[in-house]
Structure 1
Amino acid sequence: MSLGLIHKRQAGLTLIELMISLALGLIVVAAAIMLFLTGQKSYSLQQGSADLQDNANFGLSYVTKDIRLANLNALSAEINDRTKAGGLVLTSKDNGYKDTAVTPNKIYSNLPDSVTGKTAAVATLSASESHSSNVKLAGTDLKSDQLVIQYKPQYTTDPDTAANWFGGFDCEGDRISFAKSAPQRIIVQRYFLREDDNKNANEPNQALALACDAGWYNESGNPAKVEDYGGEGEIIMKRVDYFRVLLGIQKANDHRYIAVKDYMNLSGVKPRILSIQLGVLVRSSQSVGNDALVKNDQKFQVLDNEVTVKIPANASTKYVRQVVSQTIALRNTFGERGR
């Protein structure tokens, strides 16, 4: 009896088939990783853009609303560097126009002559190139501007205390409320850039923010200073690299926008101010990684200045930036009131 041999065929992959399978697998994994990284980059860019839009649009809208209050309830509709208790705060006793033709000499300024000291210093008035920035102009470091307005609120009886006047809230969010037996108050608000104490360790440049500092002085009597004024104020917009202010002036049929320093350098009686242009260069709070679309040498047109951002030491981390501008008509300067 013969026994038949049973043959079993071995099944498997050849070396070439194995290499092809591995290669295909690596391609699929690489494509998946690429999709993941692209998605992450796109998400970071969208998050940065959304953060920038929210910060810029809401912040600038808040500032615009407040600035429209300038010259509210003032005696004169025409404002310049000599308008008392209204309009923009360009001058104080320290830098106001001095009329030497009369004795004693008379000083024309936006703040009362009795206000002296720190709150009358030029550093607390509207000015060009007076605060920090993160930009350069033609290769030279450029500072940010400062804008100061003043107005008299529309006072009503305080709903919480009938013996008090109530004038709403200032730009720092503080209630304007005081006894009716006291003189009514003129509110002063200062907009400027300062460094944010609440910052990340890997900020690309100075963590600058647009802040507002509010104070007040009595409408009557001889106030010695602007109360509660000259501090760090409250932050309105985070991560602002540059803040620019232009004044819209009218003289005869000539209407144009000029910087605060150029306005103050005009000779004779300064022309009437009818509007303000604000320009801010804002950046996202969150990094968008090393996206090639974001260039460190990109130029930004902020009103009349074409600026570039100071290149940070850690140039590998990039941020989205955008210029936001607004033209604000000073409604309380129209007409011929006070003439």
Structure 2
Amino acid sequence: MKKSIAGFTLIELMIALVLGTIITAAALMLFISGQRDITLQQASADIQSSGNFGLGFITKDIRLANLDAANSLLKKDTAYGGIIIAASNYPQSMQQAIQGKNVFSSAIGSISNVKDPFSGAMIGSAQLVIQFKAQNDGFNCEGRAYTAGSYIVERYFLRADIDASNEPNSPLGLACEATSYVDGASTFNNSNFGSGSGQLIIRRVDYFHVLLNVSNNDNSTFKYLDMSNYAADSTNPHINAVQIGMLVRSNDGIGGNNFRADQQYQVLNQSIVVNADNNIKTPFLRRVIQQTVALRNAGLGISDTVTAAGGQ
């Protein structure tokens, strides 16, 4: 007696193959989506850690600006003034040492990776130079020791990072260069100050912008000016606070191919778009980080504020 042999029909086999393919594809999509989420979270954490650390590092010293200056009202002609705009902010004994050197704050004192969204013209980054009198021994932003009673000068600017690969544009970072001098000295402790590379504080910054909160003599009018407009203001208003804005990006790409060359960012009063390499379309996470720092040694004491916004 013959035994009947049962098996899959062709239709059943095809259904099993289709179901297996669908389940495998769904699992693969979940894996890819999970990887993208992890990459995005890592990029966001990277920006937050570097941005928060960098801002904290900068604002700590900015709050000391104008400490023990000749006048508590900080202006562009204040001797030993905390925000260095002009030669008059340095003592008379240092006038020869600063000639021809890049030792002043400027609206476009350093490079950037951004351009105007309307004209397409490149926009330079700001340079911020501050000084304060050290009340105790300590270390400057480059990690060099200084002694109590010295005047500490720090220069914040963007420069290229030599440790870079597969970058969507110039690998710029926010750096700080520092020096010091004592009252009556005719030279800086670091004779190369103004031309050194400094120490990187925030590793990837596409744009750095600075505004000054200023007011007239009776404090009836307040406004924000960049360094150039403040230097050109004939009324010589006094400075109450410094507003810092940066476009910070992640060190690594976040995957995908949805890079938007027309993505606009608002950094303080300046609209910008990223000037990216057309051959590298990998999107990078970017965030606008802004903070207003009250100059507690220079007048009214406006409250500190921090804001952030983002994009790709």
> Which of 284, 289, 297 does residue 255 from structure 2 map onto?
289
Separation of aligned partners in 1, 2:208 and 2:19: 54
> Which of 123, 127, 149 does residue 146 from structure 1 map onto?
127
SS at match of 1:332: coil
SS at match of 2:35: helix
User: Could you say which residue in structure 1 is the equivalent of 2:271?
Assistant: 306
> Which of 34, 42, 47 does residue 39 from structure 1 map onto?
34
Higher Rg: 1
Q: Deviations over 1:131-175 (max 9, x none)?
A: 1111111321101000001111113xxxxxxxxxxx211111211
> Which of 100, 122, 137 does residue 121 from structure 1 map onto?
100
- Name the CA shift for 1:170/1:329 in 2 (closer, same or farther; >3 Å): same
- Name the CA shift for 1:89/1:278 in 2 (closer, same or farther; >3 Å): same
Q: Is the 8 A contact 2:109 2:124 kept in 1?
A: yes
User: Could you say which residue in structure 2 is the equivalent of 1:100?
Assistant: none
Structure 2: which 5+ runs fail to align? 301-312
Please identify which structure carries the higher strand content. Answer: 1
- Name the CA shift for 1:177/1:118 in 2 (closer, same or farther; >3 Å): closer
Code of the residue aligned with 1:216 in structure 2: it is: S
Separation of aligned partners in 1, 2:186 and 2:101: 18
Matched, 1:72 2:42: no
Q: Is the 8 A contact 1:73 1:154 kept in 2?
A: no
Code of the residue aligned with 2:221 in structure 1: it is: D
User: Could you say which residue in structure 2 is the equivalent of 1:322?
Assistant: 287
Give the paired residue count. 294
> Which of 11, 16, 21 does residue 16 from structure 1 map onto?
11
Separation of aligned partners in 2, 1:225 and 1:212: 16
Separation of aligned partners in 2, 1:142 and 1:256: 22
> Which of 212, 215, 233 does residue 179 from structure 2 map onto?
215
C-alpha deviation, 1:114, in angstroms: 3.9
Q: Deviations over 1:46-69 (max 9, x none)?
A: 111111111111211111111111
Separation of aligned partners in 1, 2:257 and 2:39: 10
C-alpha deviation, 1:291, in angstroms: 5.9
CA RMSD across the alignment: 1.8
Q: Is the 8 A contact 1:86 1:150 kept in 2?
A: yes
Matched, 1:277 2:243: yes
> Which of 117, 133, 138 does residue 168 from structure 1 map onto?
138
Q: Is the 8 A contact 1:64 1:328 kept in 2?
A: yes
- Name the CA shift for 1:41/1:57 in 2 (closer, same or farther; >3 Å): same
Structure 1: which 5+ runs fail to align? 1-5, 93-108, 156-166, 179-183
Separation of aligned partners in 1, 2:155 and 2:173: 13
Matched, 1:254 2:224: no
What TM-score do you get using the length of structure 2 for normalisation? Answer: 0.89
Q: Is the 8 A contact 2:158 2:208 kept in 1?
A: yes
Code of the residue aligned with 1:260 in structure 2: it is: M
Separation of aligned partners in 1, 2:63 and 2:69: 13
What TM-score do you get using the length of structure 1 for normalisation? Answer: 0.82
User: Could you say which residue in structure 2 is the equivalent of 1:161?
Assistant: none
Q: Is the 8 A contact 2:97 2:186 kept in 1?
A: no
